Amino acid sequence: MSGLIPPHGGKGLVCALLEGAELEAEKKKAEGLKKISITGRENGDLIMMGIGGFSPLSGFMTQADWKSVCENFTLSDGTFWPIPVTLSATKEDADAINVGEEIALENADGVVMATMKVDEKYEMTEADKKWECEKVYKGEGEESADDKFWEIAMEDHPGVQMVMAQKDFNLAGSVKVLSEGDFPERFPGVYMSPAQSRAIFEERGWSTVAALQLRNPMHRSHEHLAKIAADVCDGVFIHSLVGSLKPGDIPAEVRIKCIETLIDGYFVKEHVVQGGYPLDMRYAGPREGLLHATFRQNYGVSRMIIGRDHAGVGDFYTLFEAQTIFDKIPQPEDDAKRLLCTPLKIDWTFYCKVCDGMASLRTCPHDDSVRVKLSGTKLRKALSDGEEIVDHFGREEVLDILREYYAGLKEKVEIKVHKKV
């Protein structure tokens, strides 16, 4: 019997990805079905449902599930879930589809990613979308104040922009996933399913596994967090997003190369695994931290590293809001419906010149004048502007990779540095 944490929801890994003859038959059937265009976010969500990353979800959410997730952090059956997973369609498409009908879901590249049996269709008015944004994306930071949120969010919050740009109806129903896209080919050995990561952990004899979430290049603070996790767990899973990011973020291929370089030079390889997952960022701060823990449980992870400003954007969230939210979520009586992956809460980390090493607010008694505070945004800003990188911000081998990437850019994207970084 596996010593790893069980998948979320009590149903094992719920995988909607077809294989073999069943896959070929469904692909042929899809050719004759009405096609609905899907966004990048929906494409990533489909793949996660395909490989079991979103267990126990087997399809896009009904109105009851959507409302309960936004309001109560649970599906309508009481199972914990922190963020809506929905599929939008135009009014014209929704009107042309009957409940009970099967449709094909086609991504921006014209690839049919899945078929879906439509169990429900429901309107999403502008008021509904705003309500979702206020429930899911509004935090406790300065830019989430009632008199500022909508003025700033429509300009600066990519998650809010994503929701408000959704079409006028949502379609709900179970899916049959036909493809993982190009992720297996683009990221061989890094992109993996929950079944694959669990097999690796079991082969190594791990039972307690911590995950480090990454969307930025891995700097000294990330390295420090991963090493803390390796000290208190059997191993650490450096698990980076290989889906779409916002303009100015660094591509997955570059970030993966940086992680490989760090693992080769600065980690005990028996206690670390690099992996990638196919989602787009939602930039939902605390709620996304909960989502990260939820799907990491499916990957076999028992502890989710939550540091400063996890999955945040701008000043919509306070520095440690993604930590405190774990103390406020519902705890269903049924263990299977509860979030079992717990947070590994770590304070703000930095390099201290007096301590002569990495430290945190809990361990370093010195003031800001001798601290090198690290953030992915500040690093990207300095590299983009061609500025000198201060000592101890990152490993030189990694900075060389990043400098080479920025030197090859033909267009520079402006990077905003907000107050809290």
Inform me whether the pLDDT recorded for 418 exceeds 60.
no
Could you tell me if 99 and 33 lie in one domain? yes
Tell me how far apart the alpha carbons of residues 104 and 118 are, in angstroms, rounded to a whole number.
10
Express as a percent the part of the chain with pLDDT over 90. Answer: 84
Could you tell me if 165 and 259 lie in one domain? no
- Does residue 193 lie in a domain region? yes
Total tally of structural domains belonging to the chain: 2
C-alpha count within 13 angstroms, C-beta hemisphere, residue 353: 10
Could you tell me if 393 and 251 lie in one domain? yes
**Residue 261 maps to which CATH number?**
3.40.50.620
Could you tell me if 159 and 211 lie in one domain? no
Tell me how far apart the alpha carbons of residues 230 and 395 are, in angstroms, rounded to a whole number.
19
Chain mean pLDDT for the chain:
94
Mean pLDDT of 374-392: 79
Final residue in a domain of this structure, among 119, 153, 181 = 181
Could you tell me if 134 and 164 lie in one domain? yes
Sort 343 into a burial class: Cβ within 10 Å, 0-12 / 13-18 / 19+.
buried
Torsion, CA 287, CA 290, CA 291, CA 292, rounded to 10 = 120
- Does residue 321 lie in a domain region? no
**Residue 164 maps to which CATH number?**
3.10.400.10
Q: Which residues of 173-202 are buried (b: 16+ CB within 10 A; e: fewer)?
A: bbbbbbbbbebeeebeebbbbbeebbebbe
Torsion, CA 357, CA 361, CA 367, CA 369, rounded to 10 = 60
Task: Mark whether 215 is an active-site residue.
Answer: yes
| pLDDT for residue 112 | 98
Could you tell me if 199 and 162 lie in one domain? no
Inform me whether the pLDDT recorded for 77 exceeds 70.
yes
- Does residue 12 lie in a domain region? no
Instruction: Return the CA Rg of the chain.
Output: 21
Could you tell me if 225 and 353 lie in one domain? yes
Q: Residue 354: count other Cβ atoms within 10 Å of its Cβ.
A: 13
Torsion, CA 108, CA 112, CA 113, CA 114, rounded to 10 = 130
Final residue in a domain of this structure, among 132, 151, 181 = 181
Task: Mark whether 216 is an active-site residue.
Answer: yes
Listed in sequence order, the residues at least 6 apart from 117 whose beta carbon sits closer than 8 Å to its beta carbon are 100, 101, 102, 173, 174
Final residue in a domain of this structure, among 142, 157, 181 = 181
Candidate list 216, 255, 303, 395, residue with the active-site label = 216
Inform me whether the pLDDT recorded for 414 exceeds 70.
no
Could you tell me if 177 and 191 lie in one domain? no
Express as a percent the part of the chain with pLDDT over 70. Answer: 97
Candidate list 198, 215, 308, 380, residue with the active-site label = 215
Q: Residue 163: count other Cβ atoms within 10 Å of its Cβ.
A: 23
Range of the domain at 80: 20-181
Largest CA-CA distance found in the chain, in angstroms, rounded: 69
State pLDDT tens for residues 286-320. Answer: 999 999 999 999 999 999 999 989 999 999 999 99
- Does residue 259 lie in a domain region? yes
